[in-house]
C-alpha cells in the first residue's frame, strides 16, 4: 500500500507513522515550488517565500544538537500533553525527531497538546514539525520575516487569511543601573542614533544567520526612553490546528537563551557581556492573581536550575511554568483557553511598558507646559510612534479574542454549560484587559500629540513675541530718526561754521532758530495720521463730486 501524501491528514495511518526523511523533503519541495511561482503563472505568487526556502535548505542536520555557550541552556522545546484533569504532562526536547514522534503519539491517542519552540529555530526543527503536521509555511514566513531580503509589502496579511495564526508581542523594560540623575536630551538623541545603527547591524546578522545559533533569543524592537531606561520587543507566533479529532498548538517564541549568550545588540553593553554582574537589568513582569501571595510557595516557585543566565527575563520562564493555574478540564476542551496564560502574560508586560512610558510622558509634558528650556518635541514624537505600533497590535489581539479561535479548533460542547461559562468568562476577562490597555495606549498617544501641539504653539508664541519686540525696537529707532535726521540736515547745511566755534561769522543761535521749524515739521509728519487723511480726503472728494454730478 502506497503511503498517502504526508501533507494531507486524512488517515490515521499517516499520523501513526514515524517521521521519515521523505516527509521533510516533500514539505521542503512544496515550499520551493510555491516560492518559484510568479505573477505570470498564478494569482497566488510565492514572492516572499524565497527567503524561507533559502533558510530551510541551510544544513539543518548541523543544528540538531544543542550548542554550548559556556553556560547551561534550557531545552529548546517544551511539550505539554493534556492527559488528565489535574495537570498536563510536561516534557523537554533537544531533538526534533523525538519531539515529532511524541506529538504523533499524542495525536493517535487524541490527546490535546501544546508545544513551545524557544528562541531562534533551526531549519531541521521547522521542517520536521512543519512536515509532520502540515503547518502552513506562511506561519513560519511571518515569524521569520526578519530574514526578508526583498520588501514586497505583503505583511501583514488580511485577518481573514490568518485566522489560524496569532501574533503576540512581549515588551521588556530594561534599566542601566549605573545611570543617575536627570537625562540630557543631547545624550538621549545620541543614544538613539547609536542604538539605531547597532540594531540595523543586529538585524543584518540575524537575517544572514551570522553568529546566530538554535535557541538564541531574538529581539524585534529596541527603543531608548532616556539615558537609563529602554524597551525591547519580542514576539510569540501561535498556530492552532485540528488533527484527527484533537487539537495541537505550536508556539514559536523569541525568548530563548539568555540575551548575554546570543548575538550582540544595543540592549547589552560590552561591559555587561564581560561582567558576571552586569549593570543592565530587565524589570520583572509582575502578575497578580487573586490571593496569589497565600498560595504555598512550593506550588509556584521557580524550579531549580531552569535558568542560569545573568540577564534573566520574566518571559524566560513562561514555557517551563505554563498552565500552572489553568483549569485542566477546560484546557483540554477549549484550544483558545489553552492560550489564556499567554495572553495574560502579554497583557501584564504591556501594562508595565505603558506605566513606564507614562512616567516619561509626564516629565516631557510637564516641561512643555511649564515653558522649560527642554527639547521634548523629539521625545514626544518618538513615544507617539511607539504607541501607534502598540495600538495596532492591541487591536489585532482584541479581534483574535473576540473571535476566540472559532475557526481554529474544536469548541466546548454545548451540553456542558459549566465549561461554556468558564470559557466565556476567561475570554471576557482577557477582552476587558486588552481593551483597557488599548484605551490607555490611545490616551498616552493623544497626550503625546497634545504635548507636541503645546510645544509648537509655545514656539509660535515665542516667535511672535520676538517679532513684536523687534517691531518695538524698530519703532523706537524710527522715532529717534525723526529727531536725528532734521538736526543732521541743518548741521550739514550750516557746516558748523559759527563764530563761537571760530570758523565763521554767523552766531550758533542761527542754527537753533533754523533747526526749530525743521524739527517741528518733522514731528508733524511723525504725528500725522496719513491713513485717516487719505480716507477723509477720499470722502471729501466723493462729496464734492456728487455736488456737480
Q: Is the same domain home to 434 and 364?
A: yes
Domain that holds residue 521: 495-548
Instruction: Check: CB of residue 417 under 8 Å from CB of residue 352.
Output: no
Q: Is the same domain home to 380 and 279?
A: yes
- Secondary structure (H, E, C), 94-140: CCHHHHHHHHHHHHHCCCCEEEEEECCCCHHHHHHHHHHHCCCHHHH
Grouping H, G, I as helix, E, B as strand and the rest as coil, residue 497 is coil
Q: Where are the beta strands (DSSP E) in 226-352?
A: 229-243, 246-253, 280-282
Around Cβ 137, how many Cβ atoms within 10 Å?
21
Domain count, the chain: 2
Q: Is the same domain home to 418 and 534?
A: no
DSSP for 180-197, written as a single string: -SPPPHHHHHHHHHHHHH
Is 128 within the bounds of a domain?
Answer: yes
- pTM, whole model, 2 decimals? 0.79
The domain boundary residue, chosen from 459, 474, 507 = 459
Q: What is the pLDDT along the chain (549 residues), one digit of tens a residue?
A: 343 343 333 333 333 344 344 588 889 999 999 999 988 888 888 888 888 898 998 864 444 444 444 455 678 999 999 887 778 889 999 999 999 999 989 888 888 999 999 999 999 999 999 988 888 999 999 999 888 877 777 776 777 777 788 999 999 999 987 777 777 888 999 999 999 999 999 988 887 776 788 999 999 999 999 999 999 999 999 998 887 778 889 999 999 998 988 888 999 888 888 777 788 899 999 888 877 777 776 544 444 445 567 888 999 999 988 988 888 888 888 889 999 999 999 999 999 999 999 999 988 887 655 555 455 788 999 999 999 999 999 999 999 999 875 545 556 655 578 888 888 899 999 999 999 999 999 999 999 988 888 777 777 777 778 888 787 777 777 777 767 777 777 777 767 776 766 676 777 777 777 777 777 777 776 666 666 666 777 777 777 777 666
Q: State the cell numbers at 57.
A: 535548505
Query: Residue 229: its pLDDT value, please?
Result: 94
Q: Is the same domain home to 428 and 523?
A: no
Query: Residue 241: its pLDDT value, please?
Result: 83
Is 185 within the bounds of a domain?
Answer: yes
Q: Is the same domain home to 137 and 213?
A: yes
The domain boundary residue, chosen from 409, 437, 459 = 459
Is 1 within the bounds of a domain?
Answer: no
Is 392 within the bounds of a domain?
Answer: yes
Q: Is the same domain home to 373 and 244?
A: yes
Is 6 within the bounds of a domain?
Answer: no
**Dist. CA 236–CA 118, nearest whole Å:** 9
Query: Residue 520: its pLDDT value, please?
Result: 78
Q: Is the same domain home to 441 and 501?
A: no
Is 483 within the bounds of a domain?
Answer: no
Respond yes or no on whether the N-terminal peptide bond of residue 156 is cis (omega within 30° of 0).
yes
Query: Residue 255: its pLDDT value, please?
Result: 94
Q: Which residues contact 230 (CB under 8 A, 6 or more apart)?
A: 173, 174, 175, 176, 195, 222, 223, 224, 266, 267
Query: Residue 305: its pLDDT value, please?
Result: 45
Query: Residue 13: its pLDDT value, please?
Result: 37
Q: Is the same domain home to 165 and 227?
A: yes
Q: Is the same domain home to 238 and 384?
A: yes
Is 465 within the bounds of a domain?
Answer: no
Is 488 within the bounds of a domain?
Answer: no
Q: Is the same domain home to 511 and 451?
A: no
Q: State the cell numbers at 184.
A: 540630557
List the one residue out of 19, 165, 16, 217 whose CA is nearest residue 99: 19
List the one residue out of 127, 144, 130 whose CA is nearest residue 49: 144
Q: Is the same domain home to 216 and 328?
A: yes
List the one residue out of 434, 218, 424 whose CA is nearest residue 344: 434
The domain boundary residue, chosen from 432, 459, 486 = 459
Q: Is the same domain home to 239 and 365?
A: yes
Amino acid at each position: 500500500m502506497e503511503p498517502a501524501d504526508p501533507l494531507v491528514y486524512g488517515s490515521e495511518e499517516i499520523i501513526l507513522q514515524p517521521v521519515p526523511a521523505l516527509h521533510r523533503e516533500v514539505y521542503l519541495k512544496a515550499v520551493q515550488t510555491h516560492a518559484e511561482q510568479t505573477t505570470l503563472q498564478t494569482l497566488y505568487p510565492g514572492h516572499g517565500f524565497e527567503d524561507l526556502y533559502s533558510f530551510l535548505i541551510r544544513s539543518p542536520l548541523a543544528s540538531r544538537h544543542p550548542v554550548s555557550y559556556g553556560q547551561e541552556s534550557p531545552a529548546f522545546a517544551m511539550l505539554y500533553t493534556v492527559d488528565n484533569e489535574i495537570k498536563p504532562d510536561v516534557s523537554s526536547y533537544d531533538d526534533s525527531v523525538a519531539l515529532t514522534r511524541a506529538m504523533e503519539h499524542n495525536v493517535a491517542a487524541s490527546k490535546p497538546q501544546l508545544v513551545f519552540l524557544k528562541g531562534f529555530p533551526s531549519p531541521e526543527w521547522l521542517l520536521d514539525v512543519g512536515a509532520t503536521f502540515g503547518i502552513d509555511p506562511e506561519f513560519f514566513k511571518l515569524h521569520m520575516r526578519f530574514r526578508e531580503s526583498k520588501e514586497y509589502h505583503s505583511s501583514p496579511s488580511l485577518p481573514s487569511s490568518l485566522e489560524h495564526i496569532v501574533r503576540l508581542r512581549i515588551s521588556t523594560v530594561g534599566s542601566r543601573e549605573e545611570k543617575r540623575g536627570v537625562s540630557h536630551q543631547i545624550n538621549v538623541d545620541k543614544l538613539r542614533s547609536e542604538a539605531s545603527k547597532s540594531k540595523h547591524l543586529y538585524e543584518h546578522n540575524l537575517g544572514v544567520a551570522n553568529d546566530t545559533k538554535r535557541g538564541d533569543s531574538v529581539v524585534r524592537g529596541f527603543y531608548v526612553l532616556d539615558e537609563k531606561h529602554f524597551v525591547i520587543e519580542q514576539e510569540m507566533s501561535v498556530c492552532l490546528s485540528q488533527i484527527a479529532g484533537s487539537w495541537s498548538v505550536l508556539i514559536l517564541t523569541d525568548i530563548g537563551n539568555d540575551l548575554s549568550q546570543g548575538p550582540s545588540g544595543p540592549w547589552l553593553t560590552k561591559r555587561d557581556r564581560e561582567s558576571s554582574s552586569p549593570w543592565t537589568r530587565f524589570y520583572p513582569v509582575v502578575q497578580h492573581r487573586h490571593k496569589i501571595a497565600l498560595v504555598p510557595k512550593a506550588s509556584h516557585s521557580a524550579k531549580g536550575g531552569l535558568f542560569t543566565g545573568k540577564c534573566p527575563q520574566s518571559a524566560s520562564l513562561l514555557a517551563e511554568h505554563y498552565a500552572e493555574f489553568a483549569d485542566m478540564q477546560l484546557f483540554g476542551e477549549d484550544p483558545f483557553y489553552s492560550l489564556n496564560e499567554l495572553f495574560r502574560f502579554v497583557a501584564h508586560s504591556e501594562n508595565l511598558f505603558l506605566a513606564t512610558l507614562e512616567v516619561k510622558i509626564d516629565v516631557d509634558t510637564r516641561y512643555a507646559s511649564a515653558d522649560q528650556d527642554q527639547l521634548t518635541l523629539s521625545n514626544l514624537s518618538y513615544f507617539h510612534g511607539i504607541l501607534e505600533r502598540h495600538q495596532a497590535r492591541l487591536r489585532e489581539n482584541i479581534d483574535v479574542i473576540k473571535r476566540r479561535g472559532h475557526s481554529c479548533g474544536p469548541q466546548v460542547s454545548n451540553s456542558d454549560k459549566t465549561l461554556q461559562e468558564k470559557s466565556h468568562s476567561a475570554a471576557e476577562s482577557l477582552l476587558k484587559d486588552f481593551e483597557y490597555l488599548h484605551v490607555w495606549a490611545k490616551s498616552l498617544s493623544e497626550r503625546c500629540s497634545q504635548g507636541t501641539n503645546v510645544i509648537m504653539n509655545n514656539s509660535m508664541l515665542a516667535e511672535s513675541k520676538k517679532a513684536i519686540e523687534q517691531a518695538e525696537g524698530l519703532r523706537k529707532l524710527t522715532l529717534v530718526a525723526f529727531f536725528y535726521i532734521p538736526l543732521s540736515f541743518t548741521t550739514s547745511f550750516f557746516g558748523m561754521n559759527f563764530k563761537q566755534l571760530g570758523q565763521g561769522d554767523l552766531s550758533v543761535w542761527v542754527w537753533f532758530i533754523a533747526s526749530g521749524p525743521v524739527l517741528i515739521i518733522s514731528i508733524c509728519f511723525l504725528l500725522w495720521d496719513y491713513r485717516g487723511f487719505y480716507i477723509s480726503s477720499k470722502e471729501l472728494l466723493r462729496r464734492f463730486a456728487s455736488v456737480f454730478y
